[in-house]
Amino acid sequence: MSGYAAPKLDMVRIGFIGLGQRGPGHLNNMTKLEGVKINGLCDIRESSVKKAAKLLDGSSHQPVLYSGDKDAWKKLCESKDIDVVYIATPWDMHVPMALYAMEHGKHAFVEVPAAVTLDQCWQLVETSERTRKHCMMLENCCYDFFELLTLNMARQGYFGEIVHAEGAYLHNLLGLNFDKNGYWDMWRLKQNATRNGNIYPTHGLGPLCQLMNINRGDKMDYLVSMSGNDFSMEKKAEELAGKDDFFKPFTGKNYRGNMNTTSIRTKSGRTIMIQHDVSSPNIYSRIHKITGTKGTALKYPLPGKISNDTKESWLSDKEMQELEKKYQPAIVKKMGELAKEVGGHGGMDFLMDWRVIDCLRNGLPLDQDVYDAALWSSISPLSEKSVANRSSAVDIPDFTNGSWKTNKPVDILLEQGGTTKVKL
């Protein structure tokens, strides 16, 4: 499925499953794109479906509404009026829904992470290959502007040979994870209470994999992972349980450690470091550090900085402006300002959704394929295994079955396509 181009869809008919935290944002983006028809909205909560449907008032979209029944999402996947299913539900529901969608002739677009177990990763790969349906993980950080800039620079040799890269998800979510009105049925807190490793690796990892051509010229070989103790979540659970019996079942749990650090070695001898901490009072960071033989880049703290091998300091603001002008990729030149106007994490959400539709309408390969979804997601269960075994080395599967040696680098920079118009 690497480089696979599905038949063109002049009109992309979409159904959405999950209309809580992420679904409505994708829905709003799709209302602004030509060649899109929203034909289905689904959530287990009827109130969420009705709220989402109001976003379409006054438009030409007349979706069928699915809710209430815990299997209502299956009816959406079975609909003959839908080509594409967007899945923005709790993590453990992603794979069953994606598999069912593909089995019923739909392309599956899945929020991050795409899977939570190694078996699920393989199921996604095998089903996508057999059905010839796309299965893309919606890793929006691959469409952030600095990440796209450094990708283009790497493609043009600015950094020389990439030696090492670092990414992360450092974000203080302690309050949100314990918020009764945060995640439906406290599902994200339950994930944090039962797993110990990097359970959310893809925001930092995805852009680095594209930049390093992982699955397309290089592959991950093995990893080692270490977690510290939990210093925050059990204390928070006990504090809240003292005031509210609702939280008593969340005490006495084996919460994951505050900080997890996972180190990955690739087949060509390069290294990647990925960190995860969402329960300390962090200032938000995905790090995005690139070290090459001719230069380096670092995004956080903001704004991003770049250097080269001519001096031991970051480039000046003026030099950065010149670099941005020289290396700004076509996708940002064409859609960057529009994306910022629409919004969604600074515009990267809209840029991603526009690019997805544009690829489908032009019959182009997607920027992320099912092997990326499987590999990037697999870091979670593999890190858990390493942590549980005193940070022992764990082999990373080759989901491409050897095709990484000949697969071509992803075309995210808009060398083709770009015809889908925006209606603001």
**Residue 136: is its pLDDT beyond 90?**
yes
What is the tally of helices (H) and strands (E) in the chain?
14, 14
Spacing of C-alpha 148 from chain mean position? 15
Contact status, residue 304 vs residue 146, Cβ threshold 8 Å: yes
DSSP 355: H
Torsion of CA 11, 17, 22, 25, to 10 degrees: 30
Structure tokens at 195: 């797993």
| For range 283-292, the mean pLDDT | 98
Residue boundaries of the structural domains of the chain? 141-330+370-405
Instruction: Write out pLDDT tens, residues 78-113.
Output: 999 999 999 999 999 999 999 999 999 999 999 999
Mean pLDDT of 138-149: 98
CB 406 within 8 A of CB 143: no
Q: Return the minimum-mean-pLDDT range out of 54-63, 372-381, 404-413.
A: 404-413
Residue 247: its pLDDT value, please?
98
Tokens found for residue 299: 């995004």
Confidence at residue 169, expressed as pLDDT on a 0 to 100 scale = 98
212: exposed, middle or buried (Cβ count in 10 Å: 0-12, 13-18, 19+): buried
* Residue 337 CA: distances (Å) to CA of 31, 133, 334, 422: 18, 32, 8, 12
Checking if the pLDDT of 372 tops 90, the result is yes
Strand order from edge to edge, sheet including 135-137: 64-67, 36-43, 12-17, 84-87, 107-110, 135-137
The CATH code belonging to domain 141-330+370-405 is: 3.30.360.10
pLDDT band at 149 (very low <50, low <70, confident <90, very high): very high
Query: With bands split at pLDDT 50, 70 and 90, how would you rate the model's confidence at 413?
Result: confident
Q: Which residues in 194-332 belong to E strands, given as ranges?
A: 220-227, 260-266, 271-277, 289-292, 295-298, 305-308
Q: Round the average pLDDT of the chain to a whole number and report it.
A: 97
Query: What digits encode the pLDDT tens for the residues 32-65?
Result: 999 999 999 999 999 999 999 999 999 999 999 9
Question: Would you state the pLDDT for residue 39?
Answer: 98
For residue 155, the model assigns a pLDDT of 95
pLDDT attached to residue 358: 97
Helix (H) or strand (E) holding 323: helix 317-327
Which residues does 3 contact at the CB level (< 8 Å), separation at least 6?
Answer: 365, 369, 407, 408
Using DSSP's 3-state secondary structure scheme, residue 160 falls into: coil
pLDDT tops 90 at residue 199: yes
Write the pLDDT tens digit of every residue in 311-367.
889 999 999 999 999 999 999 999 999 999 999 999 999 999 999 999 999 999 999
pLDDT of residue 69: 87
Q: Encode pLDDT of 3-19 as tens digits.
A: 999 999 999 999 999 99
Q: Are 221 and 266 in contact (CB under 8 A)?
A: yes
CB 120 within 8 A of CB 93: no
| Statement: residue 307 has pLDDT above 90 | yes
pLDDT above 90: residue 132: yes
Report whether pLDDT(416) > 90.
Answer: no
